[in-house]
Amino acid sequence: MNEMLVRKEDLLLYAVTDRRWLHGGRLYDAVECALQGGATFLQLREKSAGTMPRASLLEEARELLALCRRYRVPFVIDDDVELAMAIDADGVHVGQSDMEAGAARKRIGKDKILGVSVQTVKEARIAAGCGADYLGVGAVFPTNSKEDAEAVRYETLKEICSAATVPVVAIGGINDENVMQLAGSGIAGVAVISAIFAKEDIRLAAQYLLHKVKEAKGR
């Protein structure tokens, strides 16, 4: 791992966007509230990209990148390597069914962040070998954000954290009520969607969840 790209503390509260929770509001405003509340990392996850004009997506992504730079928070794009390259984002995150990790690293170069979703120790080792800077592991709890997400047991999460040579972020159904169940697993942080963006007060939700994550990590 390139220590200059991703620090463990950057991954404490990894916020993932989801337009479904905006209820007519602007994504930019929701993200800024999350950053004000202490989100330490942001991923733009735009699963409706096919219905959104590319020019609009590019403009929005550039605005979010500038916002994250202002808060000194890393900004990556989910899956869409070309979008990440077009706006000079900090990096990309790919899943097992997206662009293969090695191909993604080759496309973005060595100076961009590469995150990879994994569910097994074998996948974790392959991803790290392909140049992943961090791993996303889940779903650790049932989730509505990804209907086809398979469950990852606590023991498996712990094994991946122990075997991985790069930091691990837990994802899937995590909220302020269950995050303490991840204590002792070895994770660097948690990735959340609805636990922040579905809340009426996004800033306060992020602030409280960050506190709970630190508590779970014994900090």
Using DSSP, state whether 107 is helix, strand or coil: helix
Selection from 70, 6, 59, 74 nearest residue 32 by Cα: 70
CA 43 – CA 64 distance, rounded (Å): 10
- Count the alpha carbons within 13 Å of 215 in the hemisphere toward its beta carbon: 12
3-state helix, strand, coil in the chain (%, to 5): 45, 15, 40
Catalytic center residues = 45, 117, 146
Using CA atoms, how far residue 74 sits from 26, 115, 153, 218, in Å, is 20, 12, 28, 24
CA 94 – CA 105 distance, rounded (Å): 10
Instruction: Please answer whether residues 174 and 155 qualify as being in contact, where contact means their C-beta atoms are separated by less than 8 angstroms.
Output: no
